[in-house]
A and B are shown apart, each in its own frame.
Chain A
Amino acid sequence: MSVLILALVVWLVLWALNVWLAGSALARKGVGKALVPLIFGVAILVLWEGLVRGLEVSFVILPPPSLIAAKIASSLPVLWQDAAQTILKGAIPGFLIGCGAGVLVAILIDRSPFLQRGLLPIGNFVAALPIVGLAPILVMWFGFDWQSKAAVVVAMVFFPMLVNTVAGLQASERMQRDLMATWGASYLQTLVKLRLPAAMPFIFNGLKIASTLALIGAIVAEFFGSPTYGMGFRISTEVGRLGLDMVWAEIAVAALAGSVLYGIVSLIERWVTFWHPSQRH
């Protein structure tokens, strides 16, 4: 019981500290900005630990963070092998291929009204296919290794990328296109110097959506067949063995990797679309 009370007290103290920090001038500076969410995160972990231990919740239902941390520390090589298989070999190649194909097809579609009527509905149809139905079929086609995972990711990220890029290519103003015409610019010049730059905010929107979808796709696809490693494989087998601490460890890795991927895309976005009103400072 005392553990529970202690946790609640620490949580309330951290809460009060955060309320004070958020109101003070410190929160607007670099360190303060990072401090508030950090304290919030720590408070949640403390509360979680205290509740689980204090109320004696079964570790199968919810292991305490300390146990998950210990599991992460003791199984780093396994976690790394799984992450390398699922993220580096499955998610990232799939993300790159799917997003690249989405942009290319969007440019083709934009060029030809015929393709616009033909390809957009097909893209729509593929996007509507449930991933849990598609994944086992792609595993049959491309084998148990990472190729089938990348294929699932391609199928997942292609459509959001396509739709966003098609919208982005319409984003340049008529006057800007007229200017290009008065200068006698070719189709390619107009595409490269006006329409693609104008489409960048839309393209990055698509990339951010795709970056989270890619991770989900790569993990879920492993449920339907994989080598004896990989994050999805580990999660499904450890659940069967009631090794919930390992499942949580994989989830923590996945969350971290997802945030890093999203952060990288956001950073590049800020660099590429610095001119857009949403990025100006």
Chain B
Amino acid sequence: MKDRISQPVIEAKGLNLVFQTADGPVQALKDVNLTINQGDFVSFIGPSGCGKTTFLRAIAALEQPTSGTLTVNGMSPDEARRKRAYGYVFQAAGLYPWRTIAGNIKLPLEIMGFSKTEQEERTERVLELVELKGFGKKFPWQLSGGMQQRASIARALAFDADILLMDEPFGALDEIVRDRLNEETLKLWARTGKTIGFVTHSIPEAVYLSTKIVVMSPRPGRITDLIDSPLPKERPLDIRDSRDFIEIAHRVREGLRAGHHDE
């Protein structure tokens, strides 16, 4: 187990990504170097335009890097995508309204060719994992925003990808629901041992969840600070009042401010 943990899963070396827009080229990522190990919970934090979402999308092969190397499990992101290496959770739940919650969770399983019985089993299991047991027959528009987002997490978990990529998954939810889901996300991470990449705007969220915090700044999008969290793996909500927590949060804030100054 020990050597598995130190194993690099995602490696970026000298990564650049330039978007061609109507106003000319925009450097979304500049010289990004980052290694994410097996079982890490990595948060990407920074103002809009800093490339945090672009980096996550590049890992998922939804964007093509312009130069540099990016490998996922030693493969190119596109090969990893075709091997179904990751589950992706977007800012909005993106559930298909014509399918029930269970039907939505089964969708990736149908596409990947799981047997009918296995589809049922897995759906039951992940619904329980996100505490939506008994809601499988509901349609998405019959559930609250928080429940929809949990269903979308269940969908990303259903096919047991090693890597979970989450792009501001709780950004549109209110503070109370967000706290609950943060706690649940940590529990889920502890139970499954997945590698998680998590994009957020919120400093407390980043510090509370992560083992590694990547602070980024915009124009061009780049990494300005990389913080390995000293917080223990077990994290009750009130850890946010501890000295360690406040110190890390302070460092993140400083990093964000520094990135803002040297524009």
B88 near A179 with CB under 8 A, answer: yes
Q: Which of chain B's residues have a CB closer than 8 A to the CB of A178?
A: 62, 88, 90
Chain B min CB distance to A202 (Å): 14
- A181-B62, A182-B81, A193-B107 are known contacts. Are A275 and B97 too (CB-CB below 8 A)? yes
- A184-B82, A184-B111, A189-B111 are known contacts. Are A197 and B98 too (CB-CB below 8 A)? yes
- A178-B62, A178-B88, A197-B96 are known contacts. Are A280 and B112 too (CB-CB below 8 A)? no
Interface centre among A181, A184, A194 (most CB of B within 10 A): A184
- A175-B94, A176-B94 are known contacts. Are A280 and B141 too (CB-CB below 8 A)? yes
Which label, helix, strand, loop or mixed, suits the secondary structure of the A interface?
helix
B88 near A275 with CB under 8 A, answer: no
A183 near B62 with CB under 8 A, answer: no
A275 near B141 with CB under 8 A, answer: yes
Q: Which of chain A's residues have a CB closer than 8 A to the CB of B87?
A: 182
C-alpha gap A194/B107 in the complex (Å): 10
Cβ contact of B90, chosen from A175, A184, A274, cutoff 8 A? A175
Q: Which of chain A's residues have a CB closer than 8 A to the CB of B81?
A: 181-182, 184
B90 near A275 with CB under 8 A, answer: no
- A184-B81, A184-B82, A275-B141 are known contacts. Are A179 and B94 too (CB-CB below 8 A)? yes
C-alpha gap A180/B60 in the complex (Å): 12
Q: Does A28 contact B (CB under 8 A)?
A: no
Q: Which of chain A's residues have a CB closer than 8 A to the CB of B83?
A: 184
Q: Which of chain B's residues have a CB closer than 8 A to the CB of A176?
A: 94, 96
C-alpha gap A189/B112 in the complex (Å): 10
Q: Does B41 contact A (CB under 8 A)?
A: no
Q: Does A251 contact B (CB under 8 A)?
A: no
Q: Does B61 contact A (CB under 8 A)?
A: yes
C-alpha gap A178/B86 in the complex (Å): 13
Cβ contact of A182, chosen from B62, B98, B141, cutoff 8 A? B62
Q: Which of chain A's residues have a CB closer than 8 A to the CB of B97?
A: 275-276
Chain A min CB distance to B239 (Å): 32
Q: Does B92 contact A (CB under 8 A)?
A: yes
A275 near B84 with CB under 8 A, answer: no
Chain B min CB distance to A92 (Å): 28
- A189-B111, A193-B107, A280-B141 are known contacts. Are A182 and B60 too (CB-CB below 8 A)? yes
C-alpha gap A270/B192 in the complex (Å): 42
Q: Which of chain B's residues have a CB closer than 8 A to the CB of A209?
A: none
C-alpha gap A274/B159 in the complex (Å): 28
Chain A min CB distance to B106 (Å): 11
Using an 8 Å CB-CB cutoff, how does the interface string of A237-281 with B read, 1 for contact, 0 for none? 000000000000000000000000000000000000111100010
Interface centre among B81, B107, B159 (most CB of A within 10 A): B107
Closest to B87 in A: A182
B94 near A173 with CB under 8 A, answer: yes
- A178-B88, A275-B139, A280-B141 are known contacts. Are A184 and B94 too (CB-CB below 8 A)? no
Chain A min CB distance to B62 (Å): 6
B98 near A275 with CB under 8 A, answer: yes
Closest to B112 in A: A183
Q: Which of chain B's residues have a CB closer than 8 A to the CB of A274?
A: 98
Using an 8 Å CB-CB cutoff, how does the interface string of B40-59 with A read, 1 for contact, 0 for none? 00000000000000000000
Q: Does A122 contact B (CB under 8 A)?
A: no
Chain B min CB distance to A191 (Å): 12
Closest to B90 in A: A175
Chain A min CB distance to B218 (Å): 22
- Identify 5 residue pairs between A and B in the complex whose beta-carbon atoms are under 8 Å apart, listed by A's number: A175-B90, A181-B61, A182-B88, A184-B82, A276-B97
Residues of B within 8 A of A (CB): 60-62, 81-84, 86-88, 90, 92, 94, 96-98, 107-108, 110-112, 139, 141, 159
Q: What 11 additional pairs, Cβ within 8 angstroms, besides A182-B62, A193-B111?
A: A175-B92, A180-B111, A181-B61, A182-B81, A182-B86, A182-B88, A183-B108, A184-B83, A184-B84, A185-B111, A193-B107
